[in-house]
Copies of this chain bind each other. A is one copy, B any other.
Amino acid sequence: MAKTKKQPRPKAVTPKGFRDYFGPEVTRRQTMLAQIARIYDLYGFDALETSAVETVEALGKFLPDVDRPNEGVFAWEEDGDWLALRYDMTAPLARVAAQYRNDLPSPYRRYTMGPVWRNEKPGPGRFRQFYQCDADTVGSASMAADAEICAMLADVLEAVGIARGDYIVRVNNRKVLNGVMEVAGLGGDDKEAERGIVLRAIDKLDRLGEHGVRALLGEGRRDESGDFTKGAGLDPAAADVVLGFLSAKRESDTKTLERLKELIGDSEVGLEGISELWEICDLCYEQGYGDDRIVIDPSVVRGLGYYTGPVYEAELTFEIMDEKGRPRQFGSVAGGGRYDDLVKRFTGQEVPATGVSIGVDRLLAALTAQGRFEGAAEGPVIVTVMDRARMAEYQAMVSDLRRAGIRAELYLGNPKNFGNQMKYADKRNAPFAIIQGEDEAARDVVQIKDLKLGAKLADDLSHEEWRDQPAQFECPRADLVTEIRKRLG
């Protein structure tokens, strides 16, 4: 027989830029997604789940972000067709809205949640697969659709556990921005590139400050690494107009809107934008959302080119410590706005739509930063194995506990070394270990070891004292479930 050549062993690694999620990392996200879905449902949104795979043609090939053209998706050829993993939830929605346009209700309110994939250089905290959780209304031109999504966003944040006062939903309108562009002399059809530069510059206000943004509005900006970003070429007076607009926020929505009106002059599109913002304000107030929760803020732009009307984002306003120990605001966890051209790509027909995307992983990080998940998740009660011949009896104990709704398991490793069983219980973060040796079996009792109390006592006391403490006690086998239930509280 010919010897088969030995294959080298495959490497057990997660692909670059991807990661694995364990235990509570998974269940916390699931819980959060369910909380969000409950609110979306209450607002009349219907679930939609498209497949992870789309034709490249339907996706439009590119991320909708001008900073990263011509790449960004994982794609492959299949029987002559190019397929790709979705990079967001909006492109598949546009495809669905076009494909089923004769069957779907109009307006169509849908929510969706799931992973999206980006073929980008991974970095710290930047992964190539992450969750999005979107809600969109397709086929409504009414500002009530936008106002509703802002209100829903506030409700969602409270539902997942962000306290009122710890978040703010900020609203702006691209039409107002376009009006400002007109006033600043960037109104023409030939100025689209410059307008893009202005939008992206404004979006970086938080990060670059007024000085950096002013550079980008003018000739351009050289960053710390020496790289040069070309600016919009505005003269200082025009840059002042734009910056004046960014700082137009006043102590109330009414005052902010009045200030915007002063700045916008007689730009028709700008005035239309202001009127839409008034409408959203009214609708939110009437539903009980004051400007402590939903506020007009002219500095919000949202980077994506495709927005055409209201834009909104949810920001968490509490402070956390950054890597260098300095306090900073947590920042944006969700954003969206109105877009009209996505369905048109397929059908030629303009369909007004507005929607929001929640960054689930960032929101989880926020709750973690607030200490919401402190204290390790409770593990199962572990029934140890003292006598291999009595596995069925041990298994029956586990079964009794489970039937009472108590998370429990039998130690299934090699039971020879009892120390290993206790180490296992420790690693599982088990609250109790159940022990029944020959002696206990003869007397029909079990030993219950309170591992939390044991750990606490072990911290406080010497080993000898600890052994005499009631962190371990005996009870009749028949009382096992009652005793554990009592102690789990």
User: Whole-angstrom distance between the alpha carbons of A442 and B412 in the complex?
Assistant: 73
Chain A positions 266 through 287: 1 when the CB is less than 8 Å from some CB of chain B, otherwise 0: 0000000000000000110111
Q: Return the chain B residue nearest A399 by Cβ.
A: B287
Are B47 and A26 interface neighbours, CB within 8 A? yes
> How many Å lie between the Cα of A347 and that of B13 in the bound state?
12
CB < 8 Å neighbour of A20 from B51, B55, B406: B51
**What are the residues of chain B within 8 A of A117 when measuring CB–CB?**
52-53
| Partner of A395 from B10, B115, B144 at Cβ < 8 Å | B144
Against B, the Cβ 8 Å flags (1 = close, 0 = not) of A120-133 are 00000000110000
User: Are A346 and B74 in touch, CB under 8 angstroms?
Assistant: no
Q: How far is the CB of A8 from chain B (nearest CB, A)?
A: 9
A288 proximal to B (CB < 8 A): yes
Cα distance, A95 to B11, chains bound together (Å): 8
A14 contact set on B, CB distance < 8 A: 50-51, 95, 99
Quick check: which of A105-113, A191-199, A251-259, A432-440 contacts chain B, the rest being far away?
A105-113
Q: Which residues of B contact A119 (CB under 8 A)?
A: 78
A119, B78: Cα distance in complex, Å: 9
B58 touches A10 (CB 8 A): yes
Across-interface contacts of A379 in B (CB, < 8 A): 44
Number of copies: 2
Residue numbers in B under 8 Å from A206 (CB-CB): none
Smallest CB–CB gap between A171 and chain B, Å? 16
| B287, B346, B399: the one within 8 Å of A12 (CB) | B346
Chain B residues in 8 Å Cβ range of A9 = 345-348
CB-based nearest B residue for A56: B10
Q: If the complex has contacts A47-B27, A286-B395, are A12 and B58 also in contact, measured as CB distance less than 8 A?
A: yes
Q: Which residues of B contact A147 (CB under 8 A)?
A: 395
Contact A22 B51 (CB under 8 A): no
Report yes or no: B12 in contact with A347, Cβ–Cβ below 8 A: yes
B144, B348, B396, B405: the one contacting A391 at CB < 8 Å is B144
Q: Is there a chain B Cβ closer than 8 Å to A473's Cβ?
A: no
A441 at the interface (CB under 8 A from B): no
Are A395 and B287 touching (Cβ within 8 A)?
yes
Q: Quick check: B11 and A58 within 8 Å, CB to CB? A: yes
Which one of A144, A147, A408 has the highest number of Cβ atoms from chain B below 10 Å of its Cβ?
A144
CB of A32, distance to nearest CB on chain B (Å): 13
A286 and B52 in contact, given A409-B43, A412-B140, A424-B106 (Cβ under 8 angstroms) = no
Tell me the bound Cα distance from A405 to B96 in angstroms: 29
Chain B neighbourhood of A140, CB < 8 A: 412-413
Chain B nearest CB, measured from A254 CB (Å): 16
Assess the A10–B57 pair: CB atoms within 8 A: yes
A229 CB, nearest partner CB in chain B, Å = 26
| CB under 8 Å from chain B, chain A span 7-40 | 9-16, 18-27, 30, 34, 37
A-B contacts besides A20-B100, A286-B395, 7 pairs, CB < 8 Å: A10-B57, A11-B55, A20-B48, A23-B47, A51-B128, A53-B117, A286-B396
12 contacts between A and B (CB under 8 A): A10-B55, A10-B346, A12-B346, A25-B49, A26-B48, A42-B402, A42-B407, A109-B409, A137-B412, A142-B391, A148-B412, A283-B395
